[in-house]
Structure formats: C-alpha cells, structure tokens
Amino acid sequence: MSRAAETVDIAANVARIRERIARAAARAGRNADEIRLVAAAKTVDAARVAEAVAAGVTDIGENYVQEASAKREHVGGSARWHLIGHLQRNKAASAARIFDIIQTVDSPRLAEAIAARARALSRTIDVLLQVNTSGEGTKSGIPPDGLEGLFEAVAPLAGIRVQGLMTIGGMHADPEAGRPEFRALVRSAAKLERLGAEMRWLSMGMSHDFEAAIEEGASLVRVGTGIFGPRPL
C-alpha cells in the first residue's frame, strides 16, 4: 500500500458519498434506498476493500477477472461482486464462478459463454446489457439501435437473467455534460420494458458525475476514487 493510500479515510469517504447520494435522490424526488453504491476497486488492495465493506459497502466492482479472484477470498463478508470491466469470452468461465453480477454483456456470443458456464455451476447469474450511449469508438457496449436485438438473443438463455442496463459515460470536464448519455440509457430501458424486460438496475455514473446520473435515473453508481482516493499512476 502506498503512503498516500494509508492516509485515505475510507469510512469517512463512504459516509460522504452516501450523503451526496441522498441529496441527489432528494433533488430528483427519489428514495435514496433505491440507489445502490458499487465501490469500484480496480487496483485497490484487499485490505482497503475490506475497510469499505466494514464501512457498510455491500457491493464491490472489479474490472478484471484475475484481480477479483485474488481479492475476493481475502475480503470475505457477504458483499456482492460486480464485473464492471470488459469481459473477453475466454474469461467467461472464471467470471461465472467469481461474480454475482456481470454488468458488461454486449454480445450474444459473450452471453452464451457466460450462460453455459453458469449452467455447469448450477447458477443463475444476473447480467446487465452494456450500451455505448456516447458513441465513442474506445468504449465497449452495443449501440442503442442494436439493443433490442441483443436482448431478444440473450433473454431466453438459461443460466443468466437480464436485470438492466449499464453504460460508461464520457470523461467530461463538466459533470453535467454526461446527462444526454444517461438519458439515452433511460430511454433504452423504457423500450426494453415494453418488450417485457425487467429493468431493475440502471448502472451509470462514476465518481465525477454520479449525482447527475442519479438525478437522471441511475440505480447503481460506480464510485472508485471518491471512496479509495486517487489510483496510483
């Protein structure tokens, strides 16, 4: 652990983030209990993740399968583990074993790989469909106009259960600039609900813009540096 990391008061940060979530929910006329905080723990060591869990965090987000595998057994507790990074099909078997929720399903082939492994493990894994609402070529996710076809291909698969949508917004200097991307995800969810989809979770918003995301309808927010402090270069 770096000396800078040692000075971060994770419990105090969690409390501050929860206060900000509550204020954003109130501004939108929502109940803060509808919104789940996911602590994004990429590059954060297991001891500091355990501190977040001790501070009341119930959901941990990881970008990489191997990193999550190394940490989860050391963290312990009953936290739910989310995969929030891009998943390659050749890692689907490991992901199905490690994670409770996979937020980044963006193709039928990936969904089929996860579902097959989940069935072999006698599991049903909740998944979110990742949508590229910003149109950036560097972002994973299916374009909004392809989402209906993806859902129709994925929904019948035994072993997984579609529970909502996820997007990674652009890193805008102004947190307000991401609102059109969040609204696009809300519109996409509404379209799928008309097809009978259960849109329990909308995962959008990170440390720099989660309040705007909540005001637009987020029910999962992924906060990393706001909890754990800046990541090492």
Write the DSSP symbol of residue 145: G
Q: How confident is the model at residue 3 (pLDDT cuts 50, 70, 90)?
A: low
Q: Average of pLDDT values for 201-209?
A: 96
pLDDT of residue 106: 97
Q: How confident is the model at residue 149 (pLDDT cuts 50, 70, 90)?
A: very high
**Phi-psi bin for 140: left (phi > 0), alpha (psi -120 to 50), beta?**
beta
Instruction: Please provide the DSSP assignment of 48-91 as one string.
Output: HHHHHHHTT--EEEES-HHHHHHHHHHH-SS-EEEE-S---GGG
* pTM of the shown model: 0.94
pLDDT at 1 over 80: no
**CA 135 to CA 143: how far, in whole Å?**
7
Give the count of beta carbons closer than 10 Å to the beta carbon of residue 29. Answer: 7
3-state secondary structure of 139: coil
pLDDT digits (tens, 9 = 90+) for 70-81: 999 899 888 999
pLDDT at 196 over 60: yes
Walk me through the domains of the chain, giving residue ranges and CATH numbers.
Answer: 3-227 (3.20.20.10)
Which residues, 6 or more positions from 132, have their beta carbon under 8 angstroms from its beta carbon?
Answer: 139, 140, 141, 142, 143, 144, 167
Q: What is the chain's alpha carbon radius of gyration, rounded to the nearest angstrom?
A: 17
Which residues, 6 or more positions from 196, have their beta carbon under 8 angstroms from its beta carbon?
Answer: none
Across the chain, mean pLDDT equals 94
